[in-house]
Amino acid sequence: MLPRRRPNAHEAPVKLDSRSRKEIYETIQTHEEIKLRLKSYYDREIEEVVTQIRRNYEIELQETEAEFMTKKEVLDASLNRVLMSKILADAFQSKWTDLEQFSMAVQQGGVLDANQNKVFMNKILADAFQFKCTDLEQFSTTIHNSGTSDVVCLSNDE
């Protein structure tokens, strides 16, 4: 720091007052500029940290959502298989007498060829599905939307 110089006696007090005011003004200006620069650095750094935190949580949220969707698809497929199994079980139970007759025919030597067996089984399944699902279109939409290939749609035409 520079030593303060003593005013000369011949310098006018007005001139000294003007210099003092100018120095005070410049000091205040410099201080304000430093404060603004520091505030700007502060705001920028806070924004960078907030952006990084948001990015991290967005990635975490996307990963969680993907895990959920995968698990939901697996559970939906499992539920559809259970429902299809229940429908088939109910169908076979409702047609048990037909199966017993078929079994008795086989035991008595009246063996059906492969085509007759297929027609017989398709009829049993088609009748059972028709019995359980009054609206086959709704049923096939449900099957189509399930995304599983575990179920074969049968028609009464066979």
- pLDDT tens string 123-156: 666 666 655 554 445 555 555 555 444 444 443 4
> 93 or 21: whose pLDDT is higher?
21
Residue 87 pLDDT more than 80? Answer: yes
DSSP string, 79-112: HHHHHHHHHHHHHHHHTHHHHHHHHHHHHTT-PP
pTM tops 0.85 = no
DSSP code for 57: H
Which class for 146: exposed (0-12), middle (13-18), buried (19 or more C-beta within 10 A)? middle
Q: How confident is the model over 51-65, as pLDDT tens digits? A: 999 999 999 999 999
Which pair of structure tokens corresponds to residue 86?
Answer: 């229940």
> 77 or 107: whose pLDDT is higher?
77
Q: Give pLDDT, residue 136.
A: 47
